[in-house]
Amino acid sequence: MQPTLFTWALVVFGIITLMPLVAAQLSILIRPDRQKTRELLIGKDEDWRDQTHFKMAVGAAWADWLLFVPLFAAGSIGVLLGHSWGYLLFGAAGACSLYVNIILWFTEKEYVFPSRGPLRYFTYYWGFFVYWGALALAYSALRISGIEF
């Protein structure tokens, strides 16, 4: 399964979308109490809504670094090398991104949407993660099924 132009586009879109998040997640794992960490994750001059909000952010950072980042990295390498296992891992990373970000899309709307507006909210502040996840999952399933683009 040789990678196509669409394969490369999905990997690049994933890297562009996910790298700022991965950096922010690393920041909360290293220095969760730092103001810069709060600004990266919840916005300038913002603070955690409560302990549950903070603990959810820490838990998500651990989950991303222990599960999502390895799936995305290994899957990206695998699809670019044209291996079927790469499409399985890439699709799994897409499923993880789609699942958690659909939840966040709805649960964070009350807090993020008013301050950021619809364009930013439905693009970078959850949209791109949902769009990439859906595309990666669907594309991987189609490629594993033998459908070529």
Tell me: the pLDDT tens digits for 62-84? 999 999 999 999 999 999 999 99
Domain assignments of the chain as residue spans, ordered by start: 5-144
Global pTM reads: 0.89
Question: Can you point out the beta strands (E) in the chain?
Answer: none
Tell me: the pLDDT tens digits for 91-130? 999 999 999 989 988 888 887 778 778 888 888 878 899 9
In angstroms, how far is CA 56 from the centroid of its own chain? 16
**Which letter does DSSP use for residue 20 in this model?**
H
